[in-house]
Amino acid sequence: QVQLVESGGGLVQPGGSLRLSCAASGSIISIYDMGWYRQAPGKQRELVAGISRGGSTNYADSVKGRFTISRDNGRNTVYLQMNSLKSEDTAVYYCKGTRGTDYWGQGTQVTVSS
């Protein structure tokens, strides 16, 4: 089974950018559908962006045009490029891989604040 480790979170000012990484081990991500989710305090976890094994992508309406999901199967890593960040993007961001079963990383905190 795959193990997922997120990195790249931190504190950024509104309008800034961050790139999150999700490094996989124990299996190759090319056989998984991958996604980024987030959970803000007091809210349910929500889908931010997904990318299929074939490379098709989908995004939450709230991040369309600002966030980009990509995968590098050679590096066994999935990325989330986040631009024009807003305070409402503040959350813990999680990576998920799906192949019959869902596999989650431990999350990385993103805080957007001046």
pLDDT tens per residue across span 38-79? 999 999 999 999 999 999 999 999 999 999 999 999 999 999
pLDDT band at 16; cut points 50, 70, 90: very high
CB 106 within 8 A of CB 5: yes
pLDDT, mean over the chain = 96
Q: In the chain, which ranges are E strands?
A: 3-7, 10-12, 18-25, 33-39, 46-51, 57-59, 67-72, 77-82, 91-99, 101-104, 108-112
